[in-house]
């Protein structure tokens, strides 16, 4: 297990090889929450709801249930795995405007827990480690 370093609560600047990972909607209307921060500070593009844009990476969370989010998280994890020199700061995607709980979203990132270049919210990490201890890992 890597040394655990978490995504900071508030991110207002990034280094050259750092990326802000946020929850979005498929239409890329980055009007609120972390999506608005990504638009204002980290190069998110209005109208792009998925993937890399500037120093940000969008994961859609507003299109349905948890199972509709999973493929986008899996794509992100593959993307991050291929870019080991880049540090990705995953925000509490889906836990704001989209209305999901940390307990619902955190298990989607279970495979990211092993990646040295992905920082997750502390709440997600705690939930995943508890699930692993109780044998309920995804």
- Could you give the CA distance from residue 33 to residue 71 in angstroms, rounded to a whole number? 22
Give, as one character, the DSSP assignment of residue 109: G
* pLDDT tens track for 104-121: 999 999 999 999 999 999
Under the banding of pLDDT at 50, 70 and 90, the label for residue 4 is: confident
Could you tell me which residues are beta bridge partners of residue 88? Answer: 19, 118
- Could you give the CA distance from residue 138 to residue 73 in angstroms, rounded to a whole number? 13
Q: Model-level pTM?
A: 0.94
CB 114 within 8 A of CB 122: no
Q: Is the pLDDT of residue 136 over 70?
A: no
* 18-133 fold: 3.40.220
- Could you give the CA distance from residue 136 to residue 138 in angstroms, rounded to a whole number? 6
- Could you give the CA distance from residue 47 to residue 30 in angstroms, rounded to a whole number? 8
Dihedral sign (CA 129, 131, 133, 136): negative
* pLDDT tens track for 82-98: 999 999 999 999 999 99
Residue extents of the structural domains in the chain: 18-133
């Amino acid at each position: 297990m890597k040394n655990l370093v978490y995504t900071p609560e508030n991110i207002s600047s990034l280094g050259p090889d750092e990326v802000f990972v946020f929850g979005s909607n498929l239409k890329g209307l980055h009007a609120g929450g972390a999506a608005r921060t990504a638009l204002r500070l980290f190069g998110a593009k209005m109208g792009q709801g998925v993937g890399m844009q500037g120093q940000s990476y969008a994961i859609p969370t507003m299109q349905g249930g948890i199972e509709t989010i999973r493929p986008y998280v899996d794509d992100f994890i593959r993307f991050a795995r291929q870019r080991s020199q880049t540090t990705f700061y995953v925000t509490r995607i889906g836990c704001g405007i989209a209305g999901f709980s940390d307990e619902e979203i955190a298990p989607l990132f279970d495979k990211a827990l092993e990646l040295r270049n992905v920082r997750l919210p502390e709440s997600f990490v705690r939930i995943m480690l508890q699930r692993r201890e109780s044998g309920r890992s995804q």
